[in-house]
Every structure is written in C-alpha cells, then in structure tokens.
Amino acid sequence: MQTIDDFNFQNKKALIRVDFNVPQDENLNVTDDTRIQAAKPTIEKILNDGGAVILMTHLGRPKNGFEDQYSLKHIVSKVSEILGVNVTMADDVVGDDAREKAENLKSGEVLLLENVRFHPEEEKGDRDFAKKLADLGDIYVNDAFGTAHRAHASTAIIAEFFPNAKCFGYLMKQELEAIDKVLKTGDGPVTAILGGAKVSSKITIIDNILPAIDNLIIGGGMTYTFIKAQGGDIGNSLVENDKLELALEILKACDDNDVNIYLPFDNVVADNFSNDAQTKITSVYEIPDGWMGMDVGPETNKLFSDVIKDSKTILWNGPLGVFEMDNFAKGTISLGEAIAKATEIGAFSLVGGGDSVAFVKQYGYDDKVSYVSTGGGAMLESLEGKELPGVAAILS
C-alpha cells in the first residue's frame, strides 16, 4: 500500500482528493468539522515536507452546475481555521482561475478548488475532465475514503495520469487498515454487531464477514424478521415478511461457519411509535398484538455485554433500538459502554455506518472506541467484499 510516507513533497504540488462534504446549518455554517479534521494530518505532512497543496472535494448534490448553497466559499474559512493556514480558493475547478492559482502556488500554501460536482463530468468519470484536474499537480493523493466507492473523475479516473506518483493519505490508510483488522488480521474472538431496520440491507455484509468472525450480534428492527421466521409473535414490530426464509438461511450459515449468533431475548415494547408511549418488557417471542419492539431489554443487555467483554476485535454497525428517542436508547447506550470497556482493556473496535457514528458522537463514545469510520457507504461496501474504485485506482 503506497502512502504519502513513501514520497517527499519538497517543491511538489500535491493534488489531494479530500471529503469535505460537511453538514451545514441554514446559514451555511459548518456544524460538524470531523471530516476536515480527519484530513489535517495528511495536509500537514505535505506542507512540512516543503510542498504545496491543492484540495479537491464535493459538497452536497448540485444538479445544475454552479449553485451558491453548494459553493465551497461557505466552508473555506473553516478549512483555514482548522489547518492554521490561510487557504486560497479558486473560483472554478479546471478553468482559468484554478489553473492560474495552481501554477502560482508556492511551497507551504494551500489552494481549495471549487466544488468538483459543479461539473457533471465529475460523476460521469470523464477522462478529459480528470486530465485537466491532473494537470494542476505533480502527485495525486487520495484521502477521501467517504467517496472511495465512487468511480468519479477526481476519486478514481485521475489516478491514471499519475502512474508513478499516486498514493493514499493517512486517513485512507487508517480506514483500510481498520477494515483489514476486522476481516483479516485482528485477534480473536471477533464479534460483529449489526443493528438497524432491515435484514435485506445487511445480507451481503453478513455473507462476507461470516468466515472472519466468531460472534454475530443482531439488534434493531431486523431482530423481528428473525423472530417471526422462528415462529415468534412480534405484535406490530417492524418486519420484512419477504425475508423470513433469508433469516433462516442466515441462522444456518452461522451454524455452518461455527459462528455464535446472538439475538435479543427480551425487549422494551411500546403501544405506539413515540417517546411518550406506554412501555413494558416482554420476551421477543411473545409481543402482544398492538405493541411493537423499540429497544432490547435488560437481560439482553447483560448477555451482549458479556459477549463483548470477551472479544478482542469488534465491528459495530447499527443501533440496537430507536436511540433517537431517549426512552429507547438504553440498549444502544449499554452496548456503547460495553464496547468502550472492552477497548479500554485492549480490544480493537471499529464503528461505522451513519446511525452508529451519529450515536457515538452524540453520546461521547467517539474517543472511547479504537476507530470511527468517516465513510458510511464506502465502509459498508468494503465489508461486503466489494472492490472500491478509489482504492483500486491507487493500487493498480
């Protein structure tokens, strides 16, 4: 794996694909700068070498060329603040302003190009557009794991024009190593926790990770598809009736691969989908009509915590309950606590996927786990065993 540590950037212009697709409020102020912070070590290494940096990123999903709300002018001051460097911005991506500013860029300086998605050629993976981008720099660095599953011009196609001068940044390296630890190199026992609403969205992940794991913990709404498939009464709980056979196949696949599968056996049920609903604790197999499962119960929390306590490598994707409602967050909090304790005594823990990442940030567990992935879709596709175009382009 070729990384920026394999290059000296002195007097070189590094063209870095970053992922600064950050959330903003109604006034377009950045509300979470995690992704900018994550790229900082890569940018600093290049500047410390005596190089110059040209940053490429997208922001949002513009549909018709330039749209002011998606302009990077709204985030450039935040980028400058985090990097501690006055970041210059180009008015365009591959036009006269970008070319002139890139040409005149000196060592120690940082240039931010305008939103690459203002050009439809970006998402089409257009070679001519990629070549124009490539002409701006000397070395291509991909540090945008969040977009590595897209074969776009700036994330994959551009690498063709740097046959001997392309590499991963530190963030990409960390992300790939974290996934590798779960799937290949981590110490056992390896435990995967998969939550969320649907079995159908997790089936390819389950298929791919079964040979690598020892324990599979299932939680969230998809629990009830497994329970109904085994003949349980699930009341009004979320269920995929067309996936009952699939749930039974997963149980058999776990058995065939000597993987211990853990499903909740008690749960918190509610009489409607509301934080103020009436609640009670029941067996997951005996939910009364008119009631729905909203969180795992106390006995299940204890079981899951015991499994995690004995694990050396942990993957967590998806909450165990409707954690957005305080009354149904206890199971996911208990899980976060168990993973934090296991990490503290030496386990490696990887958290990824939108809801899990949102949870660990909201409840302050992000610095109590080993690694929080910045790339939801890219991480999930990696776990599914798919080749990511942005990764393959550097490795080829």
Q: Is 61 annotated as a binding residue?
A: yes
Q: Is 17 annotated as a binding residue?
A: no
C-alpha distances in Å from residue 206, one per residue of 139, 169, 321: 38, 29, 20
The number of C-alpha atoms within 13 Å of 199 and in the hemisphere containing its C-beta is 25
Q: Is 355 annotated as a binding residue?
A: yes
Q: Which of 78, 131, 198, 341 is catalytic?
A: 198
The neighbour count for residue 286, using CB atoms within 10 Å, is 13
φ, ψ dihedrals at 192, nearest 5°: -110, 130
Q: Is 354 a catalytic residue?
A: yes
SS3 assignment for 178-225: HHHHHHHHCCCCEEEEECCCCCCCCHHHHHHHHHHCCEEEECCCCHHH
Q: Is 20 annotated as a binding residue?
A: yes
Q: Is 35 a catalytic residue?
A: yes
DSSP letters for 23-56: -B-TT--BS--HHHHHHHHHHHHHHHHT-EEEEE
Q: Which of 354, 364, 385, 386 is catalytic?
A: 354
Q: Is 356 annotated as a binding residue?
A: yes
Q: How far apart are CA 134 and CA 112, in angstroms?
A: 15
Q: How far apart are CA 28 and CA 30, in angstroms?
A: 6
Q: Is 382 annotated as a binding residue?
A: no
Q: Is 60 annotated as a binding residue?
A: yes
The DSSP secondary-structure symbol of 233 reads E
Q: Is 354 annotated as a binding residue?
A: yes
The neighbour count for residue 395, using CB atoms within 10 Å, is 13
Stretch (H or E) spanning 174: helix 170-180
Tell me the β-bridge partners of 283.
266
Q: Is 129 annotated as a binding residue?
A: no
Q: Is 65 annotated as a binding residue?
A: no
φ, ψ dihedrals at 72, nearest 5°: -75, -5
Q: Which of 78, 99, 127, 377 is catalytic?
A: 377
DSSP letters for 258-299: T-EEE--SEEEEESSSSTTS-EEEEETTEEPTT-EEEEE-HH
Q: Which of 13, 17, 35, 181 is catalytic?
A: 35
Q: Is 99 annotated as a binding residue?
A: no
Q: Is 11 annotated as a binding residue?
A: no
First to last CA, the chain: 10
Q: Is 91 annotated as a binding residue?
A: no
Q: Is 286 annotated as a binding residue?
A: no
C-alpha distances in Å from residue 50, one per residue of 53, 54, 126: 10, 14, 32
Q: Annotated binding residues for substrate, as ranges? A: 19-21, 35, 58-61, 117, 150
Active site (catalytic) residues:
35, 198, 354, 377
Q: Annotated binding residues, as ranges? A: 19-21, 35, 58-61, 117, 150, 202, 293, 324, 353-356
Q: Annotated binding residues for ATP, as ranges? A: 202, 293, 324, 353-356
Q: Annotated binding residues for (2R)-3-phosphoglycerate, as ranges? A: 35, 117, 150
